[in-house]
Amino acid sequence: MPTLWWQRGAIYQIYPRSFADSDGDGVGDLRGIIDRLDYLVDLKISAIWLSPFYRSPMADFGYDVADHCDVDPIFGTLEDFDRLLAESHERGIKVVVDFVPNHTSSEHPWFVESRASRKNPKRAWYVWRDGRRPNLPPNDWLSSFAAVGRAWSFDNVTGQWYLHSFLPGQPDLDWDNPEVEAAMHDVLRFWCERGVDGFRIDVVHKIAKDPLLRDPLPDEPVTWENWEPTIHERLRRMRAVVDEYPERMLVGEVYLLDLERVLAYVNTGDELHLAHNFVFLHLPWDASAFRSTIDSFEALSSQSAWPAWFLANHDHARVASRFGAKQARAVLLMLYALRGTPFVFQGEELGLPDAEIPPDRVVDVDGRDPERAPIPWRPPSEDGAGAGFTTGRAWLPITPAAEELNAERQAHDPGSTLALARRLADLRMAEPTLQSGEQRSVEGGDDLLAWLRIGDDDRQLLAVVNFAEDERAFHCPPDLRRTARLEISTDPARNHGDFALDDLRLSAAEALIARL
Ligand code: GLC
C-alpha cells in the first residue's frame, strides 16, 4: 500500500523558542532551525511541525497571535521563513505550521477594534456578553489555565465581558460569525500559497461553543451533542480550503479524553487527516492500559482513518521524567513501530528529562517551562553555559542533564538514545511493513505489550515492550513463527542475530523489534 508523506516517517515538533538561537538573544529563531536542518535529515523525519512563530506579545509564548501572516521579530522575518521552507524542501522535509483559530492576542488589530466600542464592525468577531448581574460574568466557565480562574474578563470601556478560554490576553474569536471564518480561511490560504505542507490546528475542539453559553448543572448536564456537529461542519470547510492545494495535511489538537469523539474528527475522511490522541498521552505506564487504548482506537477507526501517536509535546512533562530514562527509549520504539504517524517532540530523541526551573525563572502561567527548556547541542563544559543553544543567556534554564545528554555527545555514542532514534528511523524508512503494514495485537504475557506488523509477501515484524521494572519472559503464542532475527533493541546489551522466540526474555523496560 503506497503511503502519503505524512504517513511515512515521523513528524518532529519544533518549539522555535527553544530549538536553536542564531543571534545570541537567548531565544531560538528561524535561522537557528535552518542551521540545524541536517540534524533532522539524519533523523530521517518526514516533516517538521513549527509551534507559532507569528507576531505576538508572547503572553502565551506565541499562542497569542497578533498577526497571523507575519513572523515575530524575535524569530526573524518572512524572508527567513521562506528560506527555512526552501531549505527544508530541498532536504525532502515537509513543513507544518501551527494554526491558532480559537483565539487571537488581545493586541491583534481585530480585537483592538472590537473592544473600541459596541458599534465597531469588529465587535461581533469576539464573544462579548452582558454579565448576569453587576460584577457577575455571563456564566461560570473557567479558563483552561487554572491560575487564570474564570474565562471572562470585564471591559470597563464598553461595560461588557469577553470570553477567553485561556489568558485574558487571548480573547476567543466568535466562529458563529461568518466573517471570522472567512478571515481565518484566508490565513490558511496565505500559508498554503507560501508553500507550507500542512497545519497543526490548535484546540480545534473549541471552534464552536454551546450557543446558549450554559453552565453544566448537575440535574441538566450540558452535552456536547449541541455544538460538536457545528465544529465538524467548520472543519469540513477548512479541509475544503486546504484541498484547493495538493497534498496538504491537517492534524488537530483534539484535546478530548474520549476516543469516540476524537475519532469523529478523522473517520469521515473529509475533516482532519490526523488527530492528536490525548487519551494515549495521559495513560499510566501500564501494558494493559496501552493495549486497550491502542485496540479501541483501531476498533473505532473507519477504514480510511490513520492513527497518530505521541506521548510528549510542549504542554506536558517529558517522557523521561514521567516514566523514566529506559522507558523513554521504549516509547520511541513504540511510536515508530505502531501503525500510524509518530510525532516526536524536540528533545525526546535525546531522552531529555524536564529541566528544573527555579522560582525566579518561571515564566509560564501554567507550569510548562520544564518541558520547554532549550535543546543542549553541545557539552556545556566545552561550549559554555548555553550548551550550543545560545551564546547568550537562555530564556529558560538549560537542563542539568546537558553534559551527558547533549546531541553532539550522543551522536558519537552508538548506545545513546539519539543513536537509537536514528536506527528506528532508518528501519522505518527501509521497511514498508513498518510504514503501512497491517497491525495485529499479540498476547505475550503480563506487563508485555506486543504486536505484529504484517506487510506484503507476508513479511512480519514483531514489536514487544516490557513495561515491568524487571525481566519478563515472552510467552510465544502458538500461531506465531518460532524463530526471529533481532532488528533493534533499546537495550544496548542485547545480542544481535537469530533467536528462538520461545527463549525470549526482555530486560527491565526493554523494547525490541524482531523480524519473524
Ligand atoms: C494549545 C497549545 C498550548 C496553548 C493553548 C492556547 O493547547 O498547545 O500551548 O497554550 O493551546 O493556545
User: Per-residue pLDDT averaged across 299-321, rounded?
Assistant: 97
Q: Whose CA is nearest to atom 6 of ligand 1?
A: 63
Residue 97: C-alpha distances to residues 64, 91, 235, 241, 439 (Å): 15, 17, 17, 16, 30
Q: How far apart are CA 401 and CA 66, in angstroms?
A: 36
pLDDT band at 141 (very low <50, low <70, confident <90, very high): very high
Count of helices and strands (H, E) across the chain: 17, 21
Atom of ligand 1 nearest to the CA of 255: 7
Known catalytic residues are: 202, 244
How far is ligand 1, taken at its centre, from the CA of residue 470, in Å?
A: 37
pLDDT at 218: 64
pLDDT at 1 over 80: no
Q: Is the CB of 63 under 6 A from ligand 1?
A: yes
Q: What percent of the chain has pLDDT above 70?
A: 98
Q: Is the CB of 141 under 6 A from ligand 1?
A: no
pLDDT at 464: 98
How far is ligand 1, taken at its centre, from the CA of residue 269, in Å?
A: 25
Q: Which residue carries 509560564 as its cell?
A: 364
pLDDT at 307: 97
pLDDT at 501 over 70: yes
Q: What percent of the chain has pLDDT above 90?
A: 95
Contacts of 247 (CB under 8 A, 6+ apart): 4, 5, 197
Nearest to 122 by CA among 134, 130, 114: 114
All 3 cell numbers of residue 48? 517538521
Q: Is the CB of 265 under 6 A from ligand 1?
A: no
pLDDT at 223: 75
Which pLDDT tens digit goes with each residue over 348-389?
A: 999 999 999 999 999 999 999 999 999 999 999 999 999 999
Q: Provide the mean pLDDT of the chain.
A: 96
pLDDT at 373: 98
How far is ligand 1, taken at its centre, from the CA of residue 412, in Å?
A: 36
Q: Whose CA is nearest to atom 7 of ligand 1?
A: 203
Nearest to 53 by CA among 24, 35, 77: 77
Q: What are phi and psi of 110, to 5 degrees?
A: -60, -45
Atom of ligand 1 nearest to the CA of 102: 12
pLDDT at 212 over 90: no
User: Per-residue pLDDT averaged across 11-20, rounded?
Assistant: 98
DSSP string, 74-128: TT--HHHHHHHHHHHHHTT-EEEEEE--SB--TTSHHHHHHTT-TTSTTGGGB-E
pLDDT at 128 over 60: yes
Question: Which residue from 315, 365, 372 has its CB within 8 A of the most atoms of ligand 1, so it is best to mutate?
Answer: 315
How far is ligand 1, taken at its centre, from the CA of residue 502, in Å?
A: 47
Other Cβ atoms closer than 10 A to 445:
18
**pTM, 2 dp:** 0.98
SS3 category, 322: helix
Q: Is the CB of 166 under 6 A from ligand 1?
A: yes
Q: How far apart are CA 238 and CA 101, in angstroms?
A: 11
